[in-house]
Amino acid sequence: MTSANKDIDKVLDQLVASTRSPRGRFSARNSWRILEKRLFPVTGRRKFLRIAGSVAASLLIGIAGWYAYDHIQSTTMQTISTLAEIQEITLPDQSVVTLNRYSTLRFPTRFRGDKREVQLTGEAYFDVEKDKRHPFIVKAEAIDVEVLGTRFNIEAYPSDPEIKTTLLEGSVEVSIPGENKQLILSPNESAVYDRAKQCLAHEVNQESDNEITWRNGHFQFDYLPLQEITRQLSHAFNLKIEITDPALRSFRIRANFSNGESLEEILSLLKGAAHFNYTKTNDTIIISSKLN
């Protein structure tokens, strides 16, 4: 008989004895523990593996919980809307956005994944931090503007017939989601999306910096049609401006306002150059030709 068998027999004898003395040292509960230890001894290695397994499981649960929390946190969206003020916003990637009057920008509190995506309604100037691995995408209603790191301006007011993207530095791609239509812009170029025709057109600008003078509260009209001037003033002062005379809409004016003039002051100066009258009713201004 081997020594192992002798040990088992000895344990069994003790179990038998314990049935006669339930209050003794070898009660049923204590006997089972003795038998378990003798038959299945826990070695130091096995004990280490058990502890290591418990620690690993705890770590995995902790990591999974952190990723779930991180996913929830990073998908939270923040919305910033302006009224009569111009506001500068620093995004989570340190890109800087200047938001024009009566405009809205939506962006995540933390960028995650393989792209940086924001949504714009209105007008904004973007100075984007370079990150080749994570393209920066602006969704402006019907178009997407994708860059890696550059400076550009987007006008996307819902009431306008067009959405205009103007590049000042670097390179951008303007596309229509779901369609194979895109334009690659170089500095001093614009992509203009026609809402009615649903198409993109390319424009070359002489002075692209004029497109962003609004950041300082200035209005610089360099021989612009009165129709375009009133469009910009309409967004800046949140009023509807109508021109009743079609010929007057195309009248070009050169003017510069940089001292915080009111709308009434600006119109008073413009009407002398274009020879028009204007009246205001509630939130609408009507511009009409002067009668001889």
- In angstroms, the CA 248 to CA 270 distance is 12
> What domains appear along the chain, each with residue ranges and CATH number?
3-73 (no CATH), 78-208 (2.60.120.1440), 218-289 (3.55.50.30)
The residues near 186 (Cβ < 8 Å, ≥ 6 apart) are: 167, 171
Quick check: 5 pLDDT over 80?
Answer: no
Q: For position 23, what pLDDT does the model report?
A: 47
Model confidence over 176-232: pLDDT tens digits?
Answer: 998 888 899 999 999 999 999 999 999 998 778 888 999 999 999 999 999 999 999
Contact 124, 144 (CB under 8 A): no
- The residue with greater pLDDT, 72 or 269, is 269
Quick check: 174 pLDDT over 50?
Answer: yes
Q: Which residues of 177-207 are buried (b: 16+ CB within 10 A; e: fewer)?
A: eeeeeebebebbbbbbbeeeeeebeeeeeee
Rounded mean pLDDT, 58-73: 58
- In angstroms, the CA 229 to CA 222 distance is 10
Q: For position 77, what pLDDT does the model report?
A: 92
CA geometry: angle 205, 173, 180, nearest 5 deg: 120
Q: Kindly report the pTM of this predicted structure.
A: 0.73
Return the closest-CA partner of residue 164 out of 108, 112, 95, 235: 235
Q: For position 121, what pLDDT does the model report?
A: 97
Model confidence over 87-141: pLDDT tens digits?
Answer: 999 999 999 999 999 999 999 999 989 999 999 999 999 999 999 999 999 999 9
